[in-house]
Structure 1
Amino acid sequence: MEYIRDPYLKSLAGRGYIEGCTLSDKTTKTPLCHYFGGLRYALPPQQRWRRAEKLPESYSYGSKYQPGRCSGDTGVCPQPSFLSLSFGDNWSEDCFQTNVWVPTGEPPKGGWPVLFFIHGGFLQFGTPNIFHAAELLGDAGFNAIVVTPAYRLGIFGFLSSSELETDAASVGETSGNQGMWDQRIALEWTRDNIALFGGNPSQITISGYSAGAYSVFYQLAYDVHLPADQSIVKQACIWSNSPATQPRNALATQAQFNEVLAALHIPLHISWSEKLARLRATDSQKLLAAATSVDTHQFRPWSDNVFVPSRLFESFDNGNFGRRIAARGVRILLGECRDERNLYATWFPPQNTLAGLHKRLLADYHRPAVDALMRLYYPDGRLPANCQNWDCDAFGRIYADMQVHYMQRGLIDALVRGGAEHLLYRYRVEYRLKCADKTIPPEWEVTHATDQYMWFWGNGECLEPEEKPIIQRAFIGPLTKFVHGEADINWGTSNHREIRKLSPNGSVEIWQDGLWDEAMRIWRGLREVGEPADGTGAKL
């Protein structure tokens, strides 16, 4: 959708001035929102794989007559390509910026509520610049500020090793999980600065899609372990993802690090400082090529006992995690699309054999978990009757179950164990908007990412007139109430086994979860495995 873009000067008090723009409907000339793009939330680190630095108190974006120019996009972390998606040429490891969408008019008493949205992409690719909230604010009546930060991805955001730990310790930091810390510093920037935009820092809902939803969970888990006066997250939206297994431990991250060294022909026997010097001198494109060539090509969070507790999943089993959520009263809206598997099947698909599928899953999950999955899904080692092949169909199904369907139900079970059932709002999407056809093949049906056009009210595309009342009634109306902190959002469910479902014909139904029993079989089978000594299937 095309907009009229009029310059909009904004005073940020002690932070100086920025110039964004007011976006207006090109046809009606109606102002939709104010937009500030590429707004810096942190300074880049001194070295690759170090923590980003908070903006100093004295930091100014610009003066009234030379304001900071904030009407474009954030930087985009270097990343692998995916399907036909193109995220532009502005790749930069300095991607510590965010986009901010603000309603027009005067904010309510106390300020606009805030939706902090983390983009997805398997933690390996993606950008906030493909998400557009203008129509959500200006046409759907959302009336909240939307903040969409960029963060480091893949090898740039999730590499760790003993060498990096030694280096980080030399400057008083921990290593690994850089992408998660980027998200956190953006969230802290939002808390500390959003009032300057008319926002309410005490009413922040953290949300995310896919890997962004995975990130939301870990941000929430970190947040609820902080003292109450340091907590930021009041509510969470976990859209199409969930935690699956305890993240890798130090032995596993070291194995992955060594794979990268081998791919770049960096000797293992040289000093830790020389290894890092060579890695830091490596061009980002060359580093990215090496990262995507190794067996363990998925770079994810690790159990550092700072951001990710090493016994986090044990707290699921004993109910402690659920009790923390219940004690804080954090409401969680979470769910899925019916056909998640069709898009998931395209991400680094395996060779068309059972062994190939096994090897591919080891890039994401630890070996005992993958071995258990093979037994649970394929006890006789044969391709199931409902699958046509190993490399697309079987992989897409098991990967979607692990990323979304079954593991999310495991998380729900863990929350219920701790007494947080009353805080859960579950949904399921079986309806597809026509504008999704521009980026996602129609034959994939209601697959992963098609519902982003619902949550973002077209996401910059035009909704059909008959579609608007359907998604307003099904999700946007209740979501608006949720983000605004209203107690009753008219969700319609009464327990954790009930789901608010948007059916193919556009009707809203309360669905008795038909996947629950099988999900619990897989979830509990994985939990019986426990957390292995090596933490992953990476070569040790």
Structure 2
Amino acid sequence: MAKPQGASKPYIRDIEYRGFVEGLTFVDKSSKPLCHYFGGVPYALPPIGPFRWQKPRPLPACYRYGTRANPGRYVGGCSICPQPQPNDDLDPTSWDEDCLQCNIWIPAGNAPKGGWPVLFWIHGGFLQFGSPNEDDLRHMLSETACKAVVVSPAYRLNLFGFLSSAELCESSPDISTNVGFWDQRLALEWTHQNVSYFGGDASNITIGGYSAGSHSTFHQLAYDLGVSDSKAIVRRALMLSNGPGMQPKSLEEAQGQFDELLDVLQIPQTLSAAEKLAKLRTIEPKKLIQASQKMKYHQFRAVTDGSFVRYGLLNEIDSGIFARQMVRRGVKLIMGECRDEHFVYGIWRAPKNNIDSLFRRLQADYPLAACEALMQYYYPDGKLPADCKTWQEAFGYIYADIQIHHLERGMASALVRHGAGHLLYRYRMEWRAQCCDKQWPREWGVTHGTDMAIWFWGDERVLTKKEKKIAKAAFHDSLAKYLNGEDMDWGTDNPLHLRTLKPKGTIVCEEDKWLEDGVRVWDVLRKVGYTGNMLNAKL
């Protein structure tokens, strides 16, 4: 993949028994180092051919990235899992199923004693598209107090990462569910085992992500809280503009999506499970993606499999199991939202302008019983809400509520209720930088993604001096302390209050006036059973 743009020079690093690697040192106009970068570093063996839809395979202990005489060259980026673009166009020339690689950003200069703090950053994209190659951390690592080794993995997406079938799981030992989440976990374990060779502190790892990366962070945190202390990695988490979501579909409900895929691909349902899997593994990526775009249930997301995603996972939050484990391990969490998330959410495969189409669209993501409960709660009379002009607009609001606003609040309320409030830091963004105008219409306000200019210090965009001052005071100095494991002056006197960046760039710590609405929706979903059941909850 193409390397990040900007002046650079080669950077060779000895990673001890793993060998030698060549990356880049980005420099400014006076050749002063800004940061170091390695792109497309493998963390697992290729998930291709017969290994499509299997759990990721760790690199063997003897794996070496290069030698002193011939270092492994990692100056580009991660391979991109086959995927649709956000507008559903396809560009197969950019794809490669051999995508289990990560990008690594390292601050310039000498690491502190023990190593730099580590941020394990998961990219977003509805779990359907995206890449870690989209991030540019040169400005953040060179201009701010936020000095950390940042490891950003690529992972399998859409049907490559989240195809599920009860039929296949029952009859095929060489297939797994939620392999995209297993990819992330293996990348996290690789980071824990290897980040010290890149100057990072393996005992000080924060996991974080934006959008689907935030949703992934929740599931990675939940998994980490469920393993023994000896296998636990996570010290703290960042869930930015996405929450726990609801308990994922069961394997039995996901079977309907699998059957629909077979029908679109004209694979006979009469074949054995092994024959179906064999045929699917021979189909080229483009044909698989095109088939998924024709489906009613076109969103490939996690399922409740009792392995990576536990049964009753959200009930663990509601009952206090989750909070007690966070308290026992001292795991902290920053979690929050943008004011106008719904504008971006409303354009992702939006429904037609009628209530039936909206109902079908929700079923692409969520369990049927939960969708029925949401429809009854939001549209009890079957009419378009008074504050919406179209059903597409209504979809944007309900989708943002479930993905972000309301279920975040249900989770926050449960954590505080069960004694983990001192570990929780909540925020709300109501300000956006001018550079966001290049990507999002101004009338969309502080919509989904606009605050990445704050968290990543402009990323590939450029903040003005005034905007940098606002970002620094509002959140960035706190982020640096958070990654270092230091105490932050968050400003709130109640863990359910919000640290809000107001439209004029001021910070106000205030009550959350949307909290009751969020908890009410959380309870609606709990009552229909899709915050899980406690029978199989084990921590």
TM-score greater than 0.5 by the shorter chain: yes
Query: Which residue of the partner structure matches residue 15 of structure 2?
Result: 12
The 5 Å alignment of 1:206-245 reads 206-245=207-246
% identical equivalent positions: 48
**Uncovered stretches (5+) of structure 1, i.e. residues with no partner:** 534-540
Q: 1:182 to 1:532 in 2, by over 3 A?
A: closer
Q: Per the alignment, in what secondary structure is the counterpart of residue 102 of structure 2?
A: strand
Q: How far apart in 2 are the matches of 1:87 and 1:41?
A: 25
* Greater displacement, 43-52 / 14-23: 43-52
Q: How far apart in 1 are the matches of 2:81 and 2:324?
A: 37
Q: How far apart in 2 are the matches of 1:93 and 1:495?
A: 46
Query: Which residue of the partner structure matches residue 497 of structure 2?
Result: 498
The 5 Å alignment of 1:430-469 reads 430-469=430-469
Query: Which residue of the partner structure matches residue 527 of structure 1?
Result: 526
The 5 Å alignment of 1:55-454 reads 55-83=59-87, 89-166=93-170, 169=173, 171=174, 175-391=176-392, 393-454=393-454
Query: Which residue of the partner structure matches residue 535 of structure 2?
Result: none
Q: How far apart in 2 are the matches of 1:143 and 1:163?
A: 48
Give 1:98's aligned amino acid: C
Give 1:147's aligned amino acid: V
Query: Which residue of the partner structure matches residue 478 of structure 2?
Result: 478
Deviation at 1:87, TM superposition (A): 8.4
1:323-367: per-residue Cα shift (whole Å, max 9, x none)? 111211110001000000000001010010111111111111111
Alignment coverage as a number of residue pairs: 527
Out of 23, 40, 46, the residue aligned to residue 42 of structure 2 is 40
Deviation at 1:243, TM superposition (A): 1.7
Query: Which residue of the partner structure matches residue 537 of structure 1?
Result: none
Q: How far apart in 2 are the matches of 1:271 and 1:501?
A: 56
Q: How far apart in 2 are the matches of 1:145 and 1:84?
A: 33
Q: Per the alignment, in what secondary structure is the counterpart of residue 234 of structure 1?
A: strand
Q: Per the alignment, in what secondary structure is the counterpart of residue 165 of structure 1?
A: helix
Q: 1:215 to 1:310 in 2, by over 3 A?
A: same
Q: How far apart in 2 are the matches of 1:407 and 1:87?
A: 34
1:190-238: per-residue Cα shift (whole Å, max 9, x none)? 0000000111000000000000000000000000011111100000000
Contact 2:11/2:25 (CA < 8 Å) preserved in 1?
A: yes
Residue 515 of structure 1 pairs with residue 519 of structure 2: no
TM-score of the aligned structures, taking structure 2 as reference length: 0.95
Q: How far apart in 2 are the matches of 1:262 and 1:87?
A: 24
Q: How far apart in 2 are the matches of 1:43 and 1:429?
A: 40
Q: Per the alignment, in what secondary structure is the counterpart of residue 64 of structure 2?
A: coil
1:456-494: per-residue Cα shift (whole Å, max 9, x none)? 1111222111111100111110000000000x2111112
* Greater displacement, 312-321 / 348-357: 312-321
Q: 1:101 to 1:168 in 2, by over 3 A?
A: farther
Contact 1:41/1:96 (CA < 8 Å) preserved in 2?
A: yes
Deviation at 1:379, TM superposition (A): 1.5
Q: Alpha carbon RMSD of aligned pairs, Å?
A: 1.7
1:41-60: per-residue Cα shift (whole Å, max 9, x none)? 11113421012211111101
Deviation at 1:445, TM superposition (A): 1.1
Q: Per the alignment, in what secondary structure is the counterpart of residue 480 of structure 1?
A: helix
1:290-344: per-residue Cα shift (whole Å, max 9, x none)? 1121111111111111111111122122211111112111100010000000000
Deviation at 1:24, TM superposition (A): 1.3
Contact 2:78/2:132 (CA < 8 Å) preserved in 1?
A: yes
Out of 4, 25, 32, the residue aligned to residue 30 of structure 1 is 32
Runs (4+) of structure 1 exceeding 3 A deviation are 83-89
Q: How far apart in 2 are the matches of 1:53 and 1:243?
A: 27
1:353-384: per-residue Cα shift (whole Å, max 9, x none)? 11111111111111111111111111211111
Contact 2:172/2:274 (CA < 8 Å) preserved in 1?
A: no
1:505-524: per-residue Cα shift (whole Å, max 9, x none)? 11111021011111122111
Contact 2:18/2:64 (CA < 8 Å) preserved in 1?
A: yes
Contact 1:163/1:276 (CA < 8 Å) preserved in 2?
A: no
Give 1:154's aligned amino acid: N
Q: How far apart in 2 are the matches of 1:99 and 1:359?
A: 37
Q: Per the alignment, in what secondary structure is the counterpart of residue 335 of structure 2?
A: strand
Deviation at 1:119, TM superposition (A): 0.3
Deviation at 1:163, TM superposition (A): 4.2
Contact 2:82/2:92 (CA < 8 Å) preserved in 1?
A: no
Q: How far apart in 2 are the matches of 1:226 and 1:152?
A: 23
Q: Per the alignment, in what secondary structure is the counterpart of residue 3 of structure 1?
A: coil
Q: How far apart in 2 are the matches of 1:229 and 1:150?
A: 26
Q: 1:149 to 1:56 in 2, by over 3 A?
A: same
Q: How far apart in 2 are the matches of 1:129 and 1:503?
A: 31
Q: Per the alignment, in what secondary structure is the counterpart of residue 471 of structure 1?
A: helix
Q: Per the alignment, in what secondary structure is the counterpart of residue 352 of structure 1?
A: coil
* Greater displacement, 186-195 / 83-92: 83-92
Q: Per the alignment, in what secondary structure is the counterpart of residue 7 of structure 2?
A: strand
Q: How far apart in 2 are the matches of 1:437 and 1:11?
A: 42
TM-score of the aligned structures, taking structure 1 as reference length: 0.95
* Greater displacement, 83-92 / 502-511: 83-92
Q: How far apart in 2 are the matches of 1:87 and 1:399?
A: 27
Q: Per the alignment, in what secondary structure is the counterpart of residue 53 of structure 1?
A: coil
Q: How far apart in 1 are the matches of 2:166 and 2:247?
A: 19
Q: Per the alignment, in what secondary structure is the counterpart of residue 205 of structure 2?
A: strand
Give 1:100's aligned amino acid: I
Q: How far apart in 1 are the matches of 2:17 and 2:142?
A: 29
